[in-house]
């Protein structure tokens, strides 16, 4: 863990504003009170002050269809909110800096709730709904961090205080990200808090951003680098076990684009959509395309694609838009566009400013029933890892659900998913064909396995000194386990009895991809996280499990290196995601073919199957080593991965209408 800044004082429930018969909570520990007192800090709270909450107002009408509702002037904002979010209970929160208030509307009850007046605390700067904590967090210019409960929110309680203005917030899974800038400095901090109020990590190179977006599928928080020029889209991975910030300053998206809010994540976690209309591929960290329209706000729904509110003359329009910019449906909405939010029941609501008041309108272009309809055996999120066993069963790890979904390529059918019972956060998985096992790796260093094909209960295998398991790879008669202890990374080689046979990695190495060549007994991988990156290999003796040889390309800073890593059947050539083909004998660059592909399968020494986008769907095409496209076929859904089964079959894994689809290639 990084050394944390010492300028923050942490305490929870050391003061609260009271409403009705609720009293100040004195249940905090003596240690927490002592820490506050020892620091000579005082709480800027007048406990004799009247309630900060206004009065509730019941609407005269129920919200349905496109009917917009007016509320009591005292409870309805009359100027454009700075932040709009919705919680799982169906309450829309609208923070207005100018009036120093948070306005609330319940889409379930169809009424405006009491607004929260914050002037007695300070100048509010930021707001975030955390459904995991069941809290609404508020950040202030004077460094206060406060919260109110989502379920019974009739008090505002103190959470923490910083020396700097808290200018940004994001709910990041089980944690809270707060952002602030050191006065008269270009240094921006990202602080990570646990629900109890303690800081778990910090990044002094965090950036100020006008908007944050959390992706539960990959555990990433996306943000803009608004404090530098040119601004860029970036992300940090927030580890959900200890609340650590992973890969800071190493995830910037490349390309020429505008950083315009909002930031919207696709339901499967694969794509990121910006208010400029640009769409980015989260896997390859580059710009994928554009809908060629600026939007005021948007949500990305499972069945209806991108649902965006755009300005149209003096009014607004809500549109359902595909990834290539095709408008499927639209409906006019009165007033200036402010925001669009989606409730957990699938319904979408627009927020507009019309005739001096905020209007909340239910959308009719979204089919909520279709949003919620799904086969429980088919995953929705993009898999973190995909592998195939000796029988042609495809395994797809969904970290957000702690489950492994299964597809039988022989019967073309989905099997019931495996629910993991490991004691910590699942990180990765891999099939060992020689062991006939499915191995799983966890954040606490635990490696477990399931016996194939019928094993449904994980069995313990080993623990790599409590260091997170970041990758597992099949390396013939052995498995490779890559750890991450944040200061030093290793590659452990194990036999089927969990005996360690070798230790490699040269220290601080990790790779986004591993690929095993059974011809030369080599595992190929990248040198990610270190500049310059490179393509490397280790040869592993298949009797002893010892690493007998290391190798890498002879180049430095000359070429880019991206996954996937695909090996020719004869072991003579290695293709990587940039389209470059390297000689396995010399590790020199031999050839370059199209880099415009998502994944590939090398079916024989001369032909390569590639999977790529084709409009809003996919295409599998066969290409020769001299870059000649020989044939192609369309595939429904956006591309994820290309799987080659032991019998030579090739299957495309795509995402279609919010669900994962596996399609056999006929090429």
Query: In the 3-class helix/strand/coil scheme, how is 50-85 assigned residue by residue?
Result: CCCECCCECCCCCCCCCCCECCCCCCCCCCCCCEEE
* CA 553 – CA 530 distance, rounded (Å): 15
**pLDDT of 57:** 38
Query: How do residues 59-78 score in pLDDT, each as one tens digit?
Result: 333 222 222 323 344 578 88
Report, as an integer, the average pLDDT of 508-528. Answer: 89
Query: In the 3-class helix/strand/coil scheme, how is 537-553 assigned residue by residue?
Result: EEEECCCCCCEEEEEEC
Q: pLDDT grade, residue 667 (50/70/90)?
A: confident
Q: pLDDT grade, residue 365 (50/70/90)?
A: confident
Report, as an integer, the average pLDDT of 327-332. Answer: 90
**pLDDT of 208:** 87
> Of the ranges 2-6, 19-23, 174-178, 508-512, which one carries the lowest mean pLDDT score?
19-23
Centroid of chain to Cα 55: 38
* CA 360 – CA 343 distance, rounded (Å): 13
**pLDDT of 380:** 75
> Of the ranges 29-38, 88-97, 412-421, which one carries the lowest mean pLDDT score?
29-38
> Of the ranges 369-373, 549-553, 598-602, which one carries the lowest mean pLDDT score?
369-373
Does position 444 have pLDDT exceeding 80, yes or no? yes
Does position 109 have pLDDT exceeding 70, yes or no? yes
> Of the ranges 99-103, 177-181, 236-240, 581-585, which one carries the lowest mean pLDDT score?
236-240
Cross-strand partners of 393: 408
Does position 370 have pLDDT exceeding 50, yes or no? yes
Among 15-29, 131-145, 272-286, 504-518, the range of highest mean pLDDT:
131-145
Tell me, what DSSP letter sits at residue 401?
G
Handedness of CA 330, 222, 335, 54 (dihedral sign): positive
Does position 323 have pLDDT exceeding 90, yes or no? no
Laid out side by side, the sheet with 336-342 consists of 336-342, 348-354, 357-362
**pLDDT of 511:** 85
Cross-strand partners of 526: 535
| Per-residue burial over 120-159, b = 16 or more CB atoms within 10 Å of its CB, e = otherwise | ebbebbbbbbbebbbbbbbbbbbbbbbbbebeebbbbbbb
**pLDDT of 40:** 31
**pLDDT of 328:** 84
Does position 1 have pLDDT exceeding 60, yes or no? no
Q: pLDDT above 70 covers what percent of the chain?
A: 84
Q: Taking Cα atoms as reference points, which of 629, 571, 644 lies closest to residue 597?
A: 629
**pLDDT of 19:** 27
**pLDDT of 488:** 66
**pLDDT of 564:** 92
Does position 47 have pLDDT exceeding 60, yes or no? no
Query: How do residues 536-556 score in pLDDT, each as one tens digit?
Result: 999 999 999 999 999 999 997
**pLDDT of 527:** 86
Centroid of chain to Cα 511: 19
Q: pLDDT grade, residue 33 (50/70/90)?
A: very low
Does position 418 have pLDDT exceeding 70, yes or no? yes
Structure tokens at 254: 């490349």
338/34: higher pLDDT: 338
**pLDDT of 658:** 66
CB 488 within 8 A of CB 506: no
290/9: higher pLDDT: 290
Does position 9 have pLDDT exceeding 60, yes or no? no
Please state whether the predicted TM-score (pTM) of the whole model is above 0.85. no
Report, as an integer, the average pLDDT of 593-601. Answer: 85
> Of the ranges 126-135, 406-415, 482-491, which one carries the lowest mean pLDDT score?
482-491
Calculate the average pLDDT of the chain: 83
**pLDDT of 615:** 72
**pLDDT of 49:** 29
* CA 451 – CA 432 distance, rounded (Å): 10
Query: How do residues 212-250 score in pLDDT, each as one tens digit?
Result: 999 987 789 999 988 888 888 989 888 887 898 876 655
CB 136 within 8 A of CB 124: no
Q: pLDDT grade, residue 25 (50/70/90)?
A: very low
């Amino acid at each position: 863990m990084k050394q944390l800044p010492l300028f923050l004082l942490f305490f929870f429930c050391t003061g609260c504003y009271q409403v009705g018969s609720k009293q100040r909570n004195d249940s905090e520990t003596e240690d927490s009170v002592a820490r506050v007192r020892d620091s000579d800090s005082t709480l800027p709270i007048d406990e004799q002050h009247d309630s900060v909450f206004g009065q509730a107002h019941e609407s005269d009408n129920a919200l349905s269809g496109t009917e917009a509702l007016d509320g009591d002037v005292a409870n309805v904002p009359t100027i454009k909110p700075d932040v709009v979010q919705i919680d799982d209970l169906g309450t829309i929160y609208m923070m207005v800096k100018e009036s120093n208030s948070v306005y609330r509307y319940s889409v379930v009850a169809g009424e405006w709730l009491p607004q929260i007046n914050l002037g007695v605390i300070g100048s509010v700067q930021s707001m975030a709904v955390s459904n995991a904590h069941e809290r609404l967090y508020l950040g202030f210019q004077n460094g206060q961090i406060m919260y109110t409960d989502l379920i019974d929110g009739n008090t505002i309680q103190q959470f923490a205080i910083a020396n700097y203005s808290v200018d940004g917030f994001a709910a990041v899974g089980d944690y809270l990200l707060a952002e602030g800038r050191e006065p008269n400095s270009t240094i921006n901090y990202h602080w990570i808090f646990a629900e109890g109020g303690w800081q778990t990590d910090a990044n002094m190179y965090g950036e100020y951003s006008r908007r944050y977006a959390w992706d539960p599928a990959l555990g990433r928080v996306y943000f803009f680098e608004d404090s530098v020029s040119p601004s860029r889209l970036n992300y940090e991975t927030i580890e959900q076990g200890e609340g650590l910030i992973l890969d800071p300053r190493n995830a910037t998206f490349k390309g020429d684009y505008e950083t315009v809010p909002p930031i919207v994540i696709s339901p499967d976690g694969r794509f990121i959509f910006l208010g400029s209309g640009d769409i980015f591929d989260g896997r390859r960290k580059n710009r994928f395309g554009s809908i060629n329209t600026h939007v005021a706000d948007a949500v990305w729904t499972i069945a209806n694609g991108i649902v965006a509110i755009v300005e149209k003359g003096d009014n607004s329009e809500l549109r359902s838009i595909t990834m290539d910019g095709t408008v499927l449906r639209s409906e006019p909405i009165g007033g200036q566009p402010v925001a669009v939010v989606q409730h957990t029941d699938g319904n979408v609501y627009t927020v507009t400013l019309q005739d001096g008041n905020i209007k909340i309108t239910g959308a009719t272009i979204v089919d909520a029933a279709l949003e919620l309809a799904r086969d429980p055996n088919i995953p929705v999120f993009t898999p973190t890892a995909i592998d195939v066993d000796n029988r042609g069963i495809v395994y797809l790890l969904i970290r957000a659900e702690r489950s492994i979904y299964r597809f039988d390529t022989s019967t073309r059918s989905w099997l019931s998913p495996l629910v993991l019972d490991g004691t910590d956060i699942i990180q990765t998985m891999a099939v060992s064909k020689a062991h006939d096992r499915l191995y799983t790796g966890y954040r606490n260093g635990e490696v477990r396995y399931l016996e194939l094909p019928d094993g449904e209960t994980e069995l313990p295998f080993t623990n790599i000194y409590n260091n997170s398991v970041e990758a597992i790879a099949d390396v013939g008669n052995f498995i490779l386990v890559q750890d991450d202890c944040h200061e030093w990374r290793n590659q452990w080689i194990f036999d089927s009895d969990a005996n360690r046979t070798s230790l490699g990695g040269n220290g601080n190495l990790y790779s986004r991809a591993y690929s095993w060549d059974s011809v030369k007994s080599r595992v190929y991988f990248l040198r990610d996280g270190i500049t310059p990156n490179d393509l490397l290999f280790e040869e592993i003796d298949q009797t002893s499990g010892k690493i007998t040889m290391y190798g890498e390309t002879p180049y430095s800073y000359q070429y880019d290196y991206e996954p996937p890593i695909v090996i020719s059947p004869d072991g003579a050539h290695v293709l990587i995601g940039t389209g470059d083909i390297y000689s396995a004998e010399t590790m020199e660059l031999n050839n370059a073919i199209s880099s415009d592909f998502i994944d590939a399968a090398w079916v024989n020494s001369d032909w390569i199957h590639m999977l790529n986008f084709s409009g809003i769907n996919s295409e599998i095409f066969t290409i020769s080593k001299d870059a000649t496209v020989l044939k192609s076929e369309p595939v429904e859904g956006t591309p994820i991965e290309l799987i080659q089964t032991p019998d030579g079959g090739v299957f495309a894994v795509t995402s279609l209408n919010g669900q994962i689809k596996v399609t056999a290639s006929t090429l």
